[in-house]
Structure 1
Amino acid sequence: MAKYRQVHTTFWQDPKVLEEMTPEDKYFYLYLLTNPNTTQIGVYQITKKQMAFDLGYSTESINSLLHRFITLHKLIKYNEQTRELAILNWGKYNLHKAGKPVIDCVNKELKEVKDKTLLLDIMKHIPNDSVLQAFSRHVDDTHNDTSARSGQEKEEEKEIEKEIEKKKKKENPTAFRFYEENFGLLSSHLIQEINAWLNDFKGNHEVIIEALKISVERNKRNWGYAKAILKDWYGKGVKSLSDIKSLEIEFKKTSISTNKRVVRREVVPEWLNNNKTEEKAAPNYDASFEEEKIKLQAELKALDEELKGKGV
């Protein structure tokens, strides 16, 4: 019998898809909704290796995508022990109609679910009463079985959950998570490069994140730009955020000092202004004085000749 999975056209107008998801997120989400392992109830068994093989990604990338969809988007849950994945809003689009064939199929698949707690969040989005009742019966049965378990089994389960959380934190360090949330999916090569820089900076994720933040602020969302910043810092002996702040303060001081020197060179000395004033005054010398002098000399000469003629 052929299997079909519905993807509503409003998928592309969903605010979470439009505003919060990267292109890799959308691709991964469509895969989770339509891959061959999907079931009628929205809970199915699939390994990380299978997902990596189908999508052509590394296992590390699948780990990162699962972590983002569980913690950031809150759209799925994944049981590491049973390898079961639950799509939490599955019922909203796939369980709104229910005839006898659908109910029979739902009951059959519910029996095969190993971790029945995965059904609880799916139930919140099931609009059909018949399907919801089928889910409730299986959850109630599981609750009764769980109540009968010994205290030792519960403690063992808590320990397993703690180990899973530790593993997630180890696999998704802060620098990697910041990159994925602001730049996109991490490739295996990029993971190796970031790890190498973390070794150079003694495991200080804050330094790597600061370089990535500067890249985002300057609208240079690429690893090459961030790496150039890290090279500059490493060459200057940066080891922490405080070292980066010190470099910024020193740079500002240097910039202010340079600007002051430029201003001094543009100031004209006072004595130069005085000389220019004198030079400008020279062309404005009053020529009438010379004319008066020549006229007076001529009159004196004429008077002198007149006196000589009179025998004075």
Structure 2
Amino acid sequence: MALYRQLQVKFWQDGFVLDLTPEEKFFYAYLMTNSKTTQCGIFELPKRIIEMETGYNRETVDKLIKRFVDYGKIYYSEDTKEIMVKNWIKYNFINSKNTILCINKELKEIKNTEFVFKFYDICRELNYPLEIIFEGIQEVENNLSEDTNSEIFKQNTSLIEKEEEVEETEETFEENVDFKEVVNTFNNNIHPITPIEYEKLKNWEDDVKCDAIILAIKEAVNHNARTLSYINSILNNWYNLGLYSAQAVNAYQRDWNSKNKKDKNESMANAEAYMYVE
């Protein structure tokens, strides 16, 4: 199956990117779209591969890696030849069982345990479902005690499991909802909005409809993750998928659930056929 990595068009207008040299811009885009990238954003990337894929010599590769480490955008391990794109999971996380299982599998193959702990800290800060993401990873499981919001993660686990059992009930949203309703929804479900939170949500109005922002707020409430960072991660996921309205999100989720059930039924049918042949 072909793999694709999406790069938002807003990337080129990002304040950090605008200040980069042309060489640095290309390298930053390469780090997020190269052939070794993974769902978790941690992957083995030997320098000889970077040389082959970019055309840069070793001296240039060393220089660029050091710069982005100094910029605080990546970590690089000389021992394991692994790289971690620091904010990758913040903007590319999708709260679905298949995605989380994929991330869990990738984490088990990471050689540099320090990267796993850094990844754990980021996921914890963003209120991602740690107990599922790090299931079976001994070093991290020892940190999952009662004082790490484990009740929240159990609720997230329950919500994900329910995707397999029943179709989610679609909500009806009014068209042409204005931003005032977004603010009211945030105030009533999260907490009284601050000026900074207002501006960050207002920025989303340029890219998605207000009903999608409202839906993202309600999704955060359903997952008991009442933070702006979690709402932003939901909106980023939808934006990357080309879902700019609540209607588009509902249609996508409905199609995904339908396809998931169909694939499961086909797998069961194939397994029964195989057993019959045997």
Structure with higher Rg: it is: 1
Of Structure 1 and Structure 2, the greater helix share is in 1
State the structure with bigger RCO (CA 8 A, min sep 6), 1 or 2.
2
| TM-score, normalised via structure 2 length | 0.46
What is the TM-score when the length of structure 1 is the normalising length?
0.42
